[in-house]
Amino acid sequence: MFGLKSDWSLDIKTRYFALGDYAGGEARWCPGCGDHGVLTVVQRICRDKQIPPEKTVAVSGIGCSSRLPHYMGTYGFHGLHGRALPLACGIKSRRPELDIWVATGDGDCYSIGAGHWIHAVRYNMNMTVLVFDNSVYGLTKKQTSPTTPIGYKTNTHPEGAVLEAHNPLTTTLGIANVSFLAQTVDWNPNHLYATIKAAHDHKGFSLVNIIQRCPVFLPNFFQGYQDDPSRVLLLTHENGIPMEDKFARLFPTQKEHDPANMVDAYAIASKRNPLPIGLLYHNPAVPCYEDISSVGKDMGMEEKLAGIEKAFDQFAI
């Protein structure tokens, strides 16, 4: 370059993202809703890992939980009821380099979206799926959800829910290619953060079932677990969810559980009391479907046409 010293170079400053870079619109969940804490954790993890906002996508279906993309300063896709997972899988298939977060609820995922949930687990595409499980349809004002306990009175079952609650943990463990399943609670920010971070660290489909409070339609529903921590079973293991001793001591009921043991994971997941939290199952060896589905996505038009012609040539007479 004429007129410049040969040792000249452009000094490009390193980008640093603060929490505010991941903040979108003002969160309008009800005061005291557990969704606020989950949103904060997601933003903290993005900040701590310095994930560029333009490389991050939040996807959701319909429900209180599904408002999360509006509150993230990233790309977002607010889809139809129960369709968060196929949307996320489609994005990951075409843009595998993007960081995908899925926010869904016990109704959105485990009811109308149940078919997509099963196949998304089987595909094992690399994304972090957060299920806000408050055991009720909150957005539609206290209707029975798949995880509403039997006998609980709702607007759709004023005499009490008539069916046993669905167990999403045992169902997920029974799906082929399951690679990561954990459960946590929204009222313990340390365990909530550690669990979601572990899910995000995993390469594959990470499903975190979050026991989440609804202060309007289920006030005090989970209060017993908060008042008596012995009713919560903390799963511990060197390959599980890491927790400092000062926080782990808050849980008097603990169990050493190897997350590679599927049989023990199913036995633990089958029980509601005590409520298990931690990493139930982890298998990092399961292949990710986007590594297959994204093959050839960078091909130009001429290459694609040549490939089609070659495929047709085998039928030539």
- Per-residue model confidence (pLDDT) at position 210: 98
Name which of 60, 47, 123 is nearest 89 in CA terms.
123
Q: Say how far apart CA 169 and CA 263 lie, in whole Å.
A: 13
- Per-residue model confidence (pLDDT) at position 95: 93
Q: How confident is the model at residue 310 (pLDDT cuts 50, 70, 90)?
A: confident
- 140 — phi, psi (to 5°)? -100, 20
Q: Is it the case that residue 5 has pLDDT exceeding 80?
A: no
- Per-residue model confidence (pLDDT) at position 10: 60
Q: Is it the case that residue 2 has pLDDT exceeding 50?
A: no
Mind listing the pLDDT tens digit for each residue in 237-261?
999 999 999 999 999 999 999 999 9
pTM of this prediction exceeds 0.85: yes
pLDDT averaged over the chain? Answer: 93
Mind listing the pLDDT tens digit for each residue in 141-178?
999 999 999 998 999 999 999 999 999 999 999 999 99
Residue 291 or 59, more confident: 59
Geometric angle at alpha carbon 83, from 169 and 27, rounded to 5°: 85
- Per-residue model confidence (pLDDT) at position 9: 56
What average pLDDT does this structure show over 295-307? 80
Q: Which domains does the chain have, with CATH numbers?
A: 19-313 (3.40.50.970)
Q: What percent of the chain has pLDDT over 90?
A: 82
Mind listing the pLDDT tens digit for each residue in 88-140?
999 999 999 999 999 999 999 999 999 999 999 999 999 999 999 999 998 88
Q: How confident is the model at residue 3 (pLDDT cuts 50, 70, 90)?
A: very low
What amino acid is encoded at 175 in this protein?
A: I
What average pLDDT does this structure show over 272-292? 95
What average pLDDT does this structure show over 288-312? 84
- Catalogue the long-range contacts made by 169-173 (C-beta closer than 8 Å, 24 or more residues apart): 169/209, 169/269, 169/276, 169/280, 170/266, 170/269, 170/270, 171/110, 172/117, 172/121, 172/207, 173/262, 173/265, 173/266, 173/269, 173/280, 173/281
Beta sheet of 275-282, edge-to-edge order? 75-78, 56-60, 99-105, 127-133, 205-211, 180-185, 275-282, 232-236, 254-256
Q: Is it the case that residue 219 has pLDDT exceeding 50?
A: yes
